[in-house]
Amino acid sequence: MAKGAMRRPYWLEDGEETCESCTHTFVVQVVVRCSGCDAAGCAQCVVRNWVSHEVLCSECRQLEGAE
């Protein structure tokens, strides 16, 4: 099938969820929850701590860095 005939994948669609960092909206399956504050985020905005494997939003990441 030609590319143009395909639909935009759901992970690029707008949806009911809002990233609390960048305010973009997306579908519920794409939501990431910050381990620090439970805020909803998108995979583009969160940062993984490769030691603890925790996923943090940018705000919590900054707080952690300051500690």
Residues forming contacts to another protein in the complex (CB under 8 A) are: 1, 3, 5-16, 20, 22-25, 27-30, 32-33, 35-39, 43-44, 46, 48, 50, 55
CB count in 10 Å sphere of residue 54: 16
Q: How far is the CB of 61 from another protein (least distance, A)?
A: 14
Nearer to another protein, 6 or 66 (CB): 6
- Centroid of chain to Cα 35: 12
Instruction: Give the whole-angstrom CA distance, residue 39 versus residue 23.
Output: 12
> Tokens 């603890």 map to which residue?
52
Inter-residue contact 24 to 1 (CB < 8 Å): no
| Closest CB 48 distance from another protein, rounded Å | 7
Nearer to another protein (CB atom), residue 22 or residue 62:
22
